[in-house]
Structure 1
Amino acid sequence: MRALVAALLGATVFASGAAGMATGAGDTGRLALPTYSQAYAPTTVDERGAWMEADEDERRLRESPSVIRDLALNAYVRGVLCRTVGDDRCRSVRIYIERVPAFNASMAPNGTMIVWSGLLLRVRNEAELGAILGHEFGHFELRHSVLGFRNQRSGTDLMAWASILIRNSGDIQYAAIGQIYAFNRAQEREADLIGFRYLAQSCYPGSAAADVWDHIMGESDATALGRRGRAQHKYVAGFFASHPTELARATYLRTASLAVAEAKPVVVDTHQAAMAAWLPIFLNDQIKLNDFGGSEYILANLAAGSGWTTPLLYARGELYRERGNPRDLVSAAQFYQEAIGRGDAPAEAYRGLGLALLRNQQAAEGQAALATYLRLKPAAPDAALIATLVSQ
Structure 2
Amino acid sequence: MIAPLCRRGAAAVALLAGLACGPAMAADRAALPPYSFAYEPQGVDERGMWMMADEDERILRTSSFVIRDEELNAYVRGVLCRTVGEDRCRNVRVYVMRIPQFNATMYANGMMTVWSGLLLRVQNEAELGAVLGHEFGHFEKRHSLNGFKNKRSVSDVLAWLGMVGPNAGLSASLAGYVYSFSRAQETEADLIGIQYLASSAYPSAAAPKVWSRLMAEQDATAAGRKRKVRHSYAAGFFASHPTEAAREAYLSREAAKYADAGDPGAEAYRKGIAKWLPQLLDDQIKLNDFGGSEYLLDQLAASGGSADVTFARAELYSQRGNPRDYVTAAELYREAIAKGCDRPEARRGLGLALLRTQQSDEGKQALRSYLEFRPDAPDGPMIKSLVGN
Give the shorter-chain TM-score range.
over 0.9
CA distance in 2: counterparts of 1:33 and 1:379, whole angstroms: 62
Supply the AA of the counterpart residue of 1:93. Answer: V
CA deviation map 1:242-284 (0-9, x unaligned): 1000000000000000011314467574100111111111001
Looking at structure 1, the residues matched to 264 and 237 of structure 2 have their Cα atoms a distance apart, in angstroms, of 42
5+ unaligned residues in a row in structure 2: which ranges? 1-6
Which residue number corresponds to residue 172 of structure 1?
170
Please show how residues 365-376 of structure 1 align to structure 2 within 5 Å. 365-376=362-373
Residue matched to 1:315: 312
Q: Does residue 383 of structure 1 match 2:358?
A: no
Query: How many residues matched?
Result: 381
Tell me: CA distance 1:321–1:18, structure 2 relative to 1, closer, same or farther (3 Å): farther
Number of the residue aligned with 1:28: none
SS of the aligned residue for 1:278 comes to helix
* 2:134 aligned residue: 135
Cα distance between partner residues in 1 of 2:26 and 2:379? 57
Contact kept? 1:19, 1:186, Cα under 8 Å:
no
Which amino acid counterpart does residue 157 of structure 1 have in structure 2?
A: D
Q: How does 1:63-78 map to 2 (within 5 A)?
A: 63-78=62-77
Q: Which residue of 2 aligns with 1:80?
A: 79
Aligned-partner Cα distance in 2 for 1:18–1:297:
45
Counterparts of 1:97-176 in structure 2, within 5 Å, are 97-167=96-166, 169-176=167-174
Which residue matches 1:296? Answer: 294
- Aligned-partner Cα distance in 2 for 1:292–1:176: 40
Please tell me whether residue 257 in structure 1 is matched to residue 241 in structure 2.
no
Q: What's the secondary structure of 1:194's corresponding residue?
A: helix
Indicate the percent of aligned positions where both proteins have the same amino acid. Answer: 57
Which of 4, 8, 25 pairs up with 2:15? Answer: 8
Q: How does 1:350-361 map to 2 (within 5 A)?
A: 350-361=347-358
**Equivalence for 2:232:** 234
Counterpart residue type for residue 149 of structure 1 = F
Corresponding residue to 1:347 among 320, 332, 344 = 344
Choose from 279, 295, 316 the match for 1:281. Answer: 279
Aligned partner (choices 207, 210, 222) of residue 209 of structure 1: 207
For structure 1, the 5+ residue unaligned runs are: 23-31
What do the CA deviations read for 1:72-108 (whole angstroms, capped 9, x no partner)?
A: 2112101101100000011110000000000000010
Q: TM-score, normalised by structure 2?
A: 0.93
Letter in 2 for 1:317: A
1:19–1:210 Cα change, 3 Å: farther
| 1:48-63 to 2 correspondences below 5 Å | 48-63=47-62
Deviates more, 1:355-364 or 1:198-207: 355-364
Spell out, residue by residue over 1:128-182, the C-alpha distance to the aligned partner (whole angstroms, 9 max, x if none). Answer: 0000000000000101111111111111221221122134x11110000000000
State the superposition RMSD in angstroms: 2.0
Deviations 1:3-25 (A, max 9, x none): 43222111222246569989xxx
Q: 1:12 to 1:345 in 2, by over 3 A?
A: same
- Cα offset for 1:219? 0.4
Counterpart residue identity of residue 223, structure 2: L
1:192 to 178, 190, 193: 190
CA contact (8 A) 1:103 1:118 kept: yes
Q: Which moved more, 1:37-46 or 1:291-300?
A: 37-46
